[in-house]
Structure 1
């Protein structure tokens, strides 16, 4: 019987981008399925008293180099987004629309690629609309869905549920009830799936 990986993420998280790009391949290889768990990383940080790596300059300088190494090693398209830090509230709400429509993987790929391969500002409505259209979505429909109260509430509730489960950053992955934090722990995730 194939296993499932719960994948908690936010498009603001560069590590989530690398995790997404590698996890989709890993699940194809192992036959596992991904249960996508969009959340708002800022809300998770606030609830846990955690802060962004940006607040520790030496750590951030190291992370930028480390991400570049990962991108080169795994052949993942990457550039440090010139608009970072950008707001992802709208596009994270849109993820709940994509989940309800069965289009979450395409939506995730479009948003992660826009942010971390193409360097686009996901806090701009015009940019979001363009990204959606380019990815084959009806931008008007999705942009409207981002304003619906049920999608706003879904993001709040999902973020609270993530914190209750023990999530403190992104990406966080669960196989069964075992937690794995960070895109650099996918080797352990793979072992848990075999």
Structure 2
């Protein structure tokens, strides 16, 4: 029976972007299922007392150097976003809405947003930039905006975030295999072992 990787993610985390580039390949190689669970990282931080490593200047500088090393190892593009940190509330509501209402377009949707943030360095704090990115990728910005205002979708993102905290999630990316938590894109080798 195939195993599942539950992937708790927020677009605003560069480490999550790197995990996102690798997990589909890992799951394909191991015959595993990948389940995407959108969360609001700010809500996780607030609930757990955690904070972004970037809030400690020396740690932040190191983190981005380290992420760059991993991007080179993985053979994927990564550019430090000059607008970091990004408030991802509306983006993650949109992601949740797309997953619930248009699952057939979900992968393309998160692809274009991850690329805009962590390859193109675009400012997704600005509604006009978000609208431009969506339009360029074949999405209707007004339709997406409607999703972000839907009370059911707002509640789903909040519920995902609360359940993540209850399971022990304190940051992103977080992955579960057989209820075992793995935190960070630099722990993917342990995810592979757990899938074996």
Counterpart check, 1:125 vs 2:99: no
Which runs of 5 or more structure 2 residues have no equivalent in the other structure?
A: none
Q: Give the SS at the match of 2:138.
A: coil
Alignment coverage as a number of residue pairs: 194
Which residue in 1 is equivalent to 2:19? Answer: 19
What's the TM-score once normalised by structure 2's chain length? 0.94
Which residue in 1 is equivalent to 2:181? Answer: 179
- Preserved CA contact (<8 Å) 1:43 1:159: yes
Q: Distance in 2 between matches of 1:109 and 1:3?
A: 24
Deviation at residue 97 of structure 1 after TM alignment: 1.4
Q: What CA deviation, in whole Å up to 9, does each residue of 1:12-64 have, x standing for no partner?
A: 11100000001111112122121111111111011111111122111111111
Counterpart check, 1:69 vs 2:69: yes
Which residue in 1 is equivalent to 2:137? Answer: 135
Could you say if the C-alpha distance between residues 63 and 156 of structure 1 is closer, same or farther in structure 2, counting changes exceeding 3 Å? same
Deviation at residue 167 of structure 1 after TM alignment: 0.3
Q: Distance in 1 between matches of 2:23 and 2:155?
A: 27
Which runs of 5 or more structure 1 residues have no equivalent in the other structure?
A: none
Q: Give the SS at the match of 1:6.
A: strand
Greater Cα shift, 33-42 or 149-158: 149-158
Q: How big is the alpha-carbon RMSD for the aligned residues of Structure 1 and Structure 2? A: 1.2
- Preserved CA contact (<8 Å) 1:129 1:143: no
Could you say if the C-alpha distance between residues 31 and 137 of structure 1 is closer, same or farther in structure 2, counting changes exceeding 3 Å? farther
Which residue in 2 is equivalent to 1:10? Answer: 10
Deviation at residue 144 of structure 1 after TM alignment: 1.5
Q: Distance in 1 between matches of 2:81 and 2:152?
A: 30
